[in-house]
Amino acid sequence: MSRQCDLTLVEGAGGLMVPIARSYTMADLVDDLKIPILLVVDSKLGAVNHTLLTLETAASRNLKVHGYVLNHASPKADLASETNAELLSRCTDISCLGSIPWSPDHDPTETVDNAIDWNRLLKPER
């Protein structure tokens, strides 16, 4: 399938360390498939910790991370959702490839398409 497309996304469920089977995690699947990670971060309280722990785990397993995308999955803005982008940019050298705004009244495909830097995702810095 990946030979027929410019980009193939494989969605992981729940996080990098979630077990898929006994003694086999999403991280193991990423390693076995030899695919890079695009981390989607729900921009809320705890997001910075979650992101940094995930990036540290990926690095410790020599997994490639292309970048992360901030997702605003709630209409309610708070201090965390308003400051996560800036704080993450100071805490890691992994690139933020976009920020998906809360937009229940818009076409989700169009919203995501406009929010992500697809050129940087398709041609990551080496």
Which tens digit of pLDDT belongs to each residue from 59-96?
999 999 999 999 988 888 899 999 999 999 999 999 99
Per-residue b or e along 73-89, where b marks 16 or more CB atoms closer than 10 Å to that residue's CB: eeeeeeeebeebeeebe
Confirm if 104 and 78 have CB atoms less than 8 A apart: no
Structural domains in the chain?
A: 38-122 (3.40.50.300)
Q: What is the pLDDT of residues 29-38, one digit of tens each?
A: 999 999 999 9
Assigned token pair, 96: 């933020």
Banded model confidence at residue 124, pLDDT cuts 50, 70, 90: low
Torsion sign, CA atoms 20, 21, 26, 29: negative
Q: Return all residues near 76 (Cβ < 8 A) that are at least 6 apart.
A: none
**92 vs 107 pLDDT, higher one:** 92
pTM for this prediction: 0.85
In this prediction, residue 117 carries a pLDDT of 79
Assigned token pair, 67: 């970048």
Residue 7 has pLDDT above 90, yes or no: no
In this prediction, residue 120 carries a pLDDT of 77
Q: If you average pLDDT over residues 93-114, what whole number do you get?
A: 81
